[in-house]
Amino acid sequence: MNEPGSIQLPQTILPERSEATGPVVEVIKPPSIIRSFLQSKSSGKFADGAFQGMMVVCAMSIFFIVLLILSVLVLNSKLSMHTFGWKFFTSSAWDPNVGDFGALPFIWGTVVSSLLAVCLAVPLALCVSIFLLEICPQWLRGPIAFLTEMLAAIPSVIYGLWAIFVLVPIMRDNVGPLLQKYLGWTGFFGGPNFGVGMLTAAVILAIMIFPVISSISRDVMKAVPIHQREAALALGATRWEMIRMSVLRNARIGIVGSVILGLGRALGETMAVTMVIGNHPDISKSLFAPATTLASVIANEFSEATGDLYVSALIEIGLALFIVTIVVNAIARLLVWAVTRGNSARAV
Amino acid sequence: MGADIRVENLNAWYGQTHTLKDINLHIPANHATALIGPSGCGKSTFVRCLNRMHETNPIARAEGTVRIGDIDIYKDAAPVEIRRRIGMVFQRPNPFPTMSIYDNVASGLKLNGFRNKRVLDEVVERSLKSAALWDEVKDDLKKKSGASISGGQQQRLCIARALAVDPEVLLMDEPASALDPVSTAKIEDLIFQLKSQYTIVIVTHNMQQAARVAEHTGFFLTGTLVEFDKTHKIFTNPSDKRTEDYITGRFG
């Protein structure tokens, strides 16, 4: 120990100097009008306040719009609600002639077709985004990315037409028999296969939501800093290990976000699904069987709905779709929250 | 000319953590003052409290009195007004990558609607000269982006950007820690030159740097200001045992 007053300092600490060692820089003050100009400017309190107020109004309009939609749906489906009560959501009946309505087959069709579509689309979309970011040669990157985004811009009725003329025959003659042969034992691929049905609808939905998932997850992965990749590579990770360790881990919350967006689109998709799902309100174990969704029954039957109860029931179907979308999204968010809880690592 | 800074009973929190505890300090005008201390001791938080940058983080909070010249910055003025009078240079050079070198330097003035082209040209040239960068960039002022020059040049560009608004105080948060020794020496020379005209507060991990550029040095430890004195006194005859331990390298 040193006694106070006789501290042994490293020699280098105190190169006392009175002049700069480098080239002498001329320190010139900016003209004094600068300071007076800046001090004459307003504090920005008013402008910032106005800006903030405007933003709040815009943000609040979201609540307003949602409430408006919800109230219209609820008000116009009152008759159906009074007639069927909660049974509306658990009943499988759909008989306009007798006036007996239930939403269960439609809810089933919407949820199952959307979840199937997400299961099909996510691996494909992630592979495409990983390929584009990490593996793809530079010259090919632009075209593939462009085409992916093009897919998102095609109107859904075009997808429907394409599905009727191309996808349905393929599902009927090629894919269907194969599935029946090798996976028939699961029971999911039994019964007659007409080409139109749940599975075909899921496939066309998957194709439709794939560009959304792919382009958003690609942006998220791109935002993972280079030094995170280098950290993994420097540990001797292979390319795949690096992607798993750095890219996917860091981007996982954003990737789930992209999947949720895709799911949202799948739940509400109407046209293409209506054209190939078969429109039969039945809950069947077989994915070959025709089914129907909340959106497609509204599209199919609204214009020819006769009688107040029928119209009211269709509007309640709309309400059911609204609720299903919210519930599914909430579950997805809860999943994200549960996975990332207590983990401060952020996505982007 | 620069303004002096009087800090009274400054406390700062980051979430639940009490990161600055009762700081009292007088930083004289037109001198360089260095703040040293181990990582996480609160010295960065302290300089960020001097231009109210600390509170831009939603979970952060500061209380106390900070007087810059004759203005109590937590009472008398809006943060925007304060920051116009105080320049800040960060640890990592952060020029605006989408702006040219010229626009980077002019950004503080353009932001406030300063349109006089002749004065602007003059200010950009003077600021770049003061930051010892003029000769290196004068031919590409409007051609090159602020991010296309080297790291050391970028940091001097950031200093020029801070000087262009003619601040009264220049805050520097480890301005040379991401730079090579040559660039570091240039920045230090610059501080040495600039301190005759501006009040400079510099946070540094490098004690030699503190000794080279600053007249006064403050030593922070776990959120408290342990000692504040003439740099020479701090490094040769500190009054506090903890300061002595730190500068002789026994911990931290």
Q: What pLDDT score does A132 carry? A: 92
A33 to chain B, any CB pair closer than 8 A? The answer is yes
Q: For the domain B5-94+169-247, what is the CATH code? A: 3.40.50.300
- CA distance, residue B185 to nearest chain A CA (Å): 8
- For residue B110, give Cα distances in angstroms to A163, A215, B3, B20, B120: 56, 36, 24, 35, 9
A41 neighbourhood in chain B, CB within 8 Å: 84, 112-113
The predicted model scores a pTM of 0.74
| ipTM over the 0.85 cut-off | no
B132 neighbourhood in chain A, CB within 8 Å: 23, 25
B182 to chain A, any CB pair closer than 8 A? The answer is no
Confidence of residue B180 (pLDDT cuts 50, 70, 90): confident
B84 to chain A, any CB pair closer than 8 A? The answer is yes
Q: What is the pLDDT of residues B107-164, one digit of tens each?
A: 998 888 888 899 899 999 999 988 889 999 999 999 999 999 999 999 999 999 999 9
CB-CB under 8 Å, B80 with A48: yes
CB A92 within 8 A of CB A174: no
Q: What pLDDT score does B162 carry? A: 93
Q: What is the pLDDT of residues B67-114, one digit of tens each?
A: 998 889 998 888 888 898 899 999 999 999 999 999 999 999 888 888
Which one of A25, A32, A33 would you mutate to disrupt binding with B, by most B Cβ within 10 Å of its Cβ? A25
Q: What pLDDT score does A27 carry? A: 66
CB-CB under 8 Å, A29 with B244: no
What are the residue ranges in chain A where pLDDT is below 50? 1-6, 10-12, 14-16, 18, 20, 342, 344-348
CB-CB under 8 Å, B114 with A7: no
Q: Report all structural domains of chain A as residue ranges with CATH numbers, in order of start.
A: 105-340 (1.10.3720.10)
A1 to chain B, any CB pair closer than 8 A? The answer is no
CB-CB under 8 Å, B126 with A30: yes
The per-residue pLDDT of chain B, averaged, comes to 91
A7 to chain B, any CB pair closer than 8 A? The answer is yes
- In three-state form (DSSP H/G/I as H, E/B as E, the rest C), the secondary structure along chain B is CCCCEEEEEEEEEECCEEEEEEEEEEECCCCEEEEECCCCCCHHHHHHHHCCCHHHCCCEEEEEEEEECCEECCCCCCHHHHHHHEEEECCCCCCCCCCEHHHHHHHHHHHCCCCCHHHHHHHHHHHHHHCCCHHHHCCCCCCCECCCCCHHHHHHHHHHHHHCCCCCEEEEECCCCCCCHHHHHHHHHHHHHHCCCCEEEEECCCHHHHHHHCCEEEEEECCEEEEEEEHHHHHHCCCCHHHHHHHCCCCC
B119 neighbourhood in chain A, CB within 8 Å: 31, 33-34
CB-CB under 8 Å, B165 with A34: yes
